[in-house]
Amino acid sequence: MSFLKSLSVQVLIALAAGVTVGAVAAAYGGGPTRDVIEGVEALGGLWLNALRMTVVPLIFAVLVTGIAQVSDAAATGRLAMRAVIWFVVLLLLSAVTSVLLVNGVLTVWPVGEVASAALRAGAQAPPAGVATAPDFVAWVKSLAPSNPIKAAAEDAILPVVVFAVFTGFALTRLPEARGRTLLDVFQALGEAMIVIVRWVLLAAPIGVFALGLGVGLRAGVGAAGILGQYIVVAALAGLVIAIMAYVLAVAVGRVPLGRWAQATSPVLATAFATQSSLACLPAMIERSRDDLGVPQRIANLVLPLAVAVFRMTSPAVNLAVCIFVAKVYGLEPSVLQYTGAVFVALAVSVGSVGLPGQVSFIVSVAPICIALGLPIDLLPILLAVEVAPDIFRTLGNVAGDMAVTAILARDEPEAEPATQA
């Protein structure tokens, strides 16, 4: 029963228990029972607010240190610079693909209105309504916050992200001693916020159970259907990115499909079992070198760098989560909001690399939701069922890492031809 020690499993069980108890109370309980459940729900709201309070300082801190890390890596040589350029291009492709794919899928397979209304009521989110979308001129002006502290206080996440990106790059241009001192401060702030989030997540089974009671009370067991739809949509986004990595390796990296499948199969098996790109790193280096003919120096530089700063599925799956939330609330973000959300998705995909799974979900998805003008009250419920989509996140990430490595090896003069037997 060691699997019960997993926080993800505990949270999933807590959600199922909460929804079931809430649904039974709705069917057979009277007014006093509902009053008790609504009182317990307040604990869920308290837990959610404890998560919320860390989002802005955490995202700012990890972005500053993450951007500085990418800048430093790109400055170490031509190969590293080319790798970073590929990372940025593929992250952008991942984000745009997700926006088009998920909106298309949810047009063909729309979220049920009744289930959505019940889930919204169960989550006790604030009244639905996207903040008024500014026109293009106002949107451009808002990118540079006149008062970053005010922007943070008002949850204007896009200006905060822009300020963090500029701060991260600027710190790399300071004298090393001064820049290192400030980076240490921001790194310490980020680590402190992660500690707080870990403390809060220790109570995740209780918090999610309390929130699940409200979902069950108002949505009943019908909530399982809409959560199942969410799992399919989020997993599909990760799967499509994994397939895209295969296509890139074959079409751009010029690796024969059979050879690519042979090289990636043991790595994908490890990814499925561990749900960790870092745990797959040794296998990725070995298979890239032995099966794909990637020179040792390229594999040893590109793959650790990819694991450190590149998660190809992150923008796709995170945006899929947010688009699903938008559909649940019956909202249609504007093109400008999607543009800002894509930028935020790219930035947080770099900044949140290396964070624990549950922490990464909150710090990656919440800012994108805010950029789209969406409430984040559903995120703890979706976090409880993130176990399945997370498998496809990891599969796509390791496939993307190896695809970029194969592409870069093809163009390096020292590289062995990837098509050799």
Q: What pLDDT is attached to residue 135?
A: 62
What are the tens digits of pLDDT across the range 369-401? 988 988 888 888 888 888 889 899 999 999 999
CB atoms within 10 A of CB 243: 12
What are the tens digits of pLDDT across the range 96-150? 999 999 999 999 999 888 778 777 766 655 544 444 555 666 767 777 788 888 8
Cβ neighbours of residue 184 closer than 8 Å, sequence gap 6 or more: none
Global confidence as pTM: 0.85
Q: What pLDDT is attached to residue 339?
A: 93
Q: Give the mean pLDDT of 65-93.
A: 84
Please report, to the nearest 10 degrees, the dihedral formed by the alpha carbons of residues 196, 198, 199, 205 taken in order.
140
Whether the per-residue pLDDT at 154 is higher than 90: the answer is no
What are the tens digits of pLDDT across the range 190-244? 889 888 888 888 888 888 888 888 777 766 666 677 888 999 999 999 999 999 9
Lowest mean pLDDT among 132-136, 263-267, 309-313, 358-362: 132-136
What are the tens digits of pLDDT across the range 238-294? 999 999 999 999 999 999 999 999 999 999 999 888 888 888 999 999 999 999 999
Integer CA distances (angstroms), 57 to 63, 167, 169, 324, 400, in order: 10, 14, 18, 26, 30
Read off the pLDDT band of 353 (50, 70, 90).
low
In the chain, % of residues over pLDDT 90 = 33
d(CA 216, CA 22): 4
Q: Which residue has the higher pLDDT, 72 or 418?
A: 72
Whether the per-residue pLDDT at 419 is higher than 50: the answer is no
In angstroms, how far is CA 118 from the centroid of its own chain?
26
Q: Which residue has the higher pLDDT, 412 or 92?
A: 92
How would DSSP label each residue in 99-159? HHHHHHHHHHSPPPHHHHHHHHHHHTPPPP-PPPPP-HHHHHHHTS-S-HHHHHHTT-HHH
